[in-house]
Amino acid sequence: MPEFSEDLFFATIGELNKRILAREFKVEELARAFAARLERLGPRYNALALPLTGEAVRRAKEVDGEIRRGRMRGPLQGIPYGAKDLLSYAGHPTTWGARPYAGQVFKETATVLRRLDGRGAVLVGKLAMVELAGGGGYRYAAASMFGPGLNPWDRTRWSGGSSSGSGSAVAAGLAPFALASETWGSILTPAAFCGVTGLRPTYGLVSRHGAMALSWTLDKIGPMAHSAEDCGLVLQAIAGKDDLDPGSAGKSFYYTPQYARAMKDLRVGFAPVDFEEWAEPAARPAFRQALETIRSLGVQMVETALPDFPYGAVAGTVIAAEGSAVFEPLIRSGGVDQLADRKQIAGLKAGLEIPAKDYLKAMRIRGLVQAALRKLFAGVDLLVSPSLFGTAPRIDQPLDRGSGRKEPPQRGLADLGAAGNLAGLPALSLPCGFAENLPVAIQLVGRPFSENTLLAAGREFQNRTDWHRRRPPL
């Protein structure tokens, strides 16, 4: 097997694809290299749930044969990747990060994994996650049977939840891209904390068949990668109608950067209070510079704010009610007491007691939120805000510990995470600098099914910065 430099493990999908087509190395050799790195370094970050080296090598050999025969399947052909362990892979354990499901094996493979296999991508491992994707709420980063997700930039810090392994794996160069899921922040949070690019697709654009359900009306699956361009390539492969997912929107996605709207035609909404007051002081210089870079794209900047709704309370009620309904058998059987986090155990039990009237009221307010955001997006094409207002917390700190700072009187876009998920809006998290040697990121949020606009703006931002190229000190 050839000696691969460290550069290869942080190469983009496009760069790897060119080298595969140039026959610089075999797909089998590439798969072996990434699989070995994932097995060796994955446990260092508590990122590895299940190595799939043997399966990956067998599939890679098949892909090599296809390439020799001239059967080309696109830019993902031969590219290794990892998948969050809530996605079923037939005949292999799918633990959902939780001890009660440690021996769980499904007969079917998740739709997204089958679609990537059809494009010739090579699954090298399943990646760790917070137990049950955080259902019920959790207090500590250690809420996983794999231990706390450790951040490659500083292993005393959290990699973020619930897709902790996906964020760590991409940041540490253990996989060129990874699949993750988001119900309320589980793609954008680890992407921001780990300094990688993360895409939350529009609700219903990507099939969830074969994925653990947490909230039927909120769950979404999307990629983390080294660039916005890579996220677009992966989304094109995994998006599309699926009759096996009742929430499928029945839409396809084609990544078409050549047809992107001119930046000068885009109206981008922002709230100055997000960058000057909500942001932690150490992160403000990076956020200010990121905002100026967005402005330099030539877009039209528009000051705006979210309409006044109890976004967090509404999202919390929906997730708690739906999540506890999903896991009712686990709760009623007492198996829930095997979970690692006491707050999560209590939260799942409490979710079963939410009255129907409270859930229905939350869904009614959610409808009002969706209508209000449609009105907001009549005046802007994108919203920009910090993905999170600060850096990754220490793994030994309670995650519900307050910052101790007084909240600004103006909300601005501070509730964009809850609001965007309630409305099923797509979002793109982009690394934008560092605060105290830890990554910070901004998010772009758009109308439903506006992923190409998000990705075009993200690509232009990354053409002007190199934050997405930075590597942690492994």
Q: Tell me whether residue 331 is in a domain.
A: no
Same domain, 187 and 293: no
Same domain, 242 and 286: no
Same domain, 88 and 234: yes
Same domain, 100 and 219: yes
Distance, CA of 290 to CA of 461 (rounded, Å): 9
Active site residues: 84, 162, 186
Same domain, 219 and 272: no
Q: Tell me whether residue 349 is in a domain.
A: no
Same domain, 295 and 211: no
User: Which residue, of 229, 257, 285, is where some domain finishes?
Assistant: 257
User: Which residue, of 257, 279, 298, is where some domain finishes?
Assistant: 257
Give the ranges where 71-163 is alpha helix by DSSP (H): 111-118
Say how many domains are in the chain: 2
- Predicted confidence (pLDDT) at residue 1 exceeds the cutoff of 70: no
Please state the pTM of the whole predicted model.
0.98
Same domain, 158 and 211: yes
Q: Tell me whether residue 326 is in a domain.
A: no
Cα→Cα distances 257→261, 349, 382, 457, Å: 9, 47, 17, 10
* pLDDT given for residue 56 in this prediction: 98
Rama region for 83: left / alpha / beta (φ>0; ψ in -120 to 50; rest) = beta
Distance, CA of 172 to CA of 116 (rounded, Å): 22
Distance, CA of 444 to CA of 293 (rounded, Å): 13
List b or e across 288-317, with b for residues whose CB sees 16 or more CB atoms inside 10 angstroms: bebbebbeebebebeebbbeebebeebbbb
- Tell me the CATH number at 149: 3.90.1300.10
Percent of the chain with pLDDT over 70: 100
Same domain, 207 and 302: no
Distance, CA of 296 to CA of 195 (rounded, Å): 22
> Which of these ranges, 99-103, 331-335, 388-392, 399-403, has the smallest mean pLDDT?
399-403
Same domain, 245 and 372: no
Beta strands 80-84 and 122-127 are parallel
pLDDT in tens, 299-323: 999 999 999 999 999 999 999 999 9
User: Which residue, of 233, 257, 281, is where some domain finishes?
Assistant: 257
Same domain, 200 and 289: no
Q: Tell me whether residue 471 is in a domain.
A: no
Same domain, 203 and 301: no
Tokens 């999202």 appear where?
315
Distance, CA of 127 to CA of 133 (rounded, Å): 12
Element (H, E) at 81: strand 80-84
Helix, strand or coil, per DSSP, at residue 444:
strand
- Predicted confidence (pLDDT) at residue 228 exceeds the cutoff of 80: yes
pLDDT in tens, 344-400: 999 999 999 999 999 999 999 999 999 999 999 999 999 999 999 999 999 999 999
In what side-by-side order are the strands of the sheet with 48-51? 48-51, 122-127, 80-84, 177-182, 220-225, 197-200, 427-435, 438-446, 382-386, 267-270, 300-303
CA 426, chain centre distance (Å) = 11
Q: Tell me whether residue 335 is in a domain.
A: no
Same domain, 161 and 73: yes
pLDDT in tens, 433-466: 999 999 999 999 999 999 999 999 999 999 999 9
Torsion, Cα of 312, 317, 191, 228 (10° steps)? -90
Please state whether the peptide bond connecting residue 162 to the residue before it is cis, i.e. omega within 30 degrees of 0.
Answer: yes
* pLDDT given for residue 23 in this prediction: 96
Q: Tell me whether residue 66 is in a domain.
A: yes
For the chain, the farthest-separated pair of C-alpha atoms sits apart, in whole angstroms, at 64
pLDDT in tens, 43-57: 999 999 999 999 999
Distance, CA of 342 to CA of 129 (rounded, Å): 17
Q: Tell me whether residue 470 is in a domain.
A: no
8 A C-beta contact, residue 79 and residue 16: yes
* pLDDT given for residue 3 in this prediction: 80
Determine the structural domain holding residue 404 and report its residue range.
Answer: 267-311+362-465
Q: Tell me whether residue 149 is in a domain.
A: yes
